Structure 1
Amino acid sequence: MTKNTVLEIAVCTVADKPAAEAARLAAMQAVRHYPGFVSWRALTALERGDMITDLVEWQDRAAADAAAEKVGRDPVFAPYMAAISAVSLMQHFETRQAI
């Protein structure tokens, strides 16, 4: 049975990967308490030293949207946002099938 969740995918470039990953870990600890949060997978590109990706799962789109607003006000996220040089992709996806 497929869970109808929303996956948020953010593909970013960073200038200082160790600093960005440390800031991301702090952000991950904060967001786990947000309403509707399911999971967060922190990905690091093997071929590009300056690329990271976040795969965040939410119960639904409303939870994802509410979290996006909260992130902008949450001081824990400021160092992570500052560490991101550019965002290549920021998109929400609905889960249709899973195995």
Structure 2
Amino acid sequence: MTTTTVLELAVCSVADRPAAEEARRAAMAAVKTYPGFVSWKALNSLDQRDLIADLVEWSDKESADAAAAKVQADPAFAPYMAAITGVTLMQHFSTTDTI
């Protein structure tokens, strides 16, 4: 059975991974209260020290879009956004099959 949710994938560069990880944990704590939030997987590249990714699951695209607007003004996200030096990919995906 496939549950229809929206996966948000962000692949970013950071200059200081430990600082970015700390800031990301604060952002993760804040986003848990956002409407439509399902889960967040924080990923760190094994091959590139300056590359991280976030896989955030939302109940629907509207919730993901509302959250994208909300993080811009949420003080809990400011340190994480400041830690990001570049965004390689920021996209939303729907699940088509799961095994």
Structure 2 length normalisation: TM-score? 0.99
Aligned CA RMSD, in angstroms, stands at: 0.4
Name the residue aligned to 1:38.
Answer: 38
Moved beyond 2 Å, runs of 4+: none
Specify the code of the residue in structure 1 equivalent to 2:43. L
Specify the code of the residue in structure 2 equivalent to 1:69. A
How high is the sequence identity, in percent, across the aligned residues?
A: 67
Deviations 1:34-71, CA, capped at 9 Å, x for gaps: 00000000000000000000000000000000000000
Name the residue aligned to 1:85.
Answer: 85
3-state SS of the aligned residue for 1:73? coil
Long gaps (5+) in structure 2:
none
> Partners in 1 of 2:95 and 2:71 — Cα distance?
23
> Partners in 2 of 1:5 and 1:25 — Cα distance?
23
Name the residue aligned to 1:55.
Answer: 55
Corresponding position: 1:20 with 2:16: no
Specify the code of the residue in structure 1 equivalent to 2:67. A
> Partners in 1 of 2:92 and 2:75 — Cα distance?
23
> Partners in 1 of 2:47 and 2:84 — Cα distance?
18
> Shift of residue 75 of structure 1?
0.5
> Shift of residue 23 of structure 1?
0.1
> Partners in 2 of 1:61 and 1:95 — Cα distance?
12
Long gaps (5+) in structure 1:
none
> Shift of residue 84 of structure 1?
0.1
Structure 1 length normalisation: TM-score? 0.99
Specify the code of the residue in structure 1 equivalent to 2:86. A
Name the residue aligned to 1:70.
Answer: 70
> Partners in 1 of 2:46 and 2:17 — Cα distance?
12
> Partners in 2 of 1:71 and 1:53 — Cα distance?
17
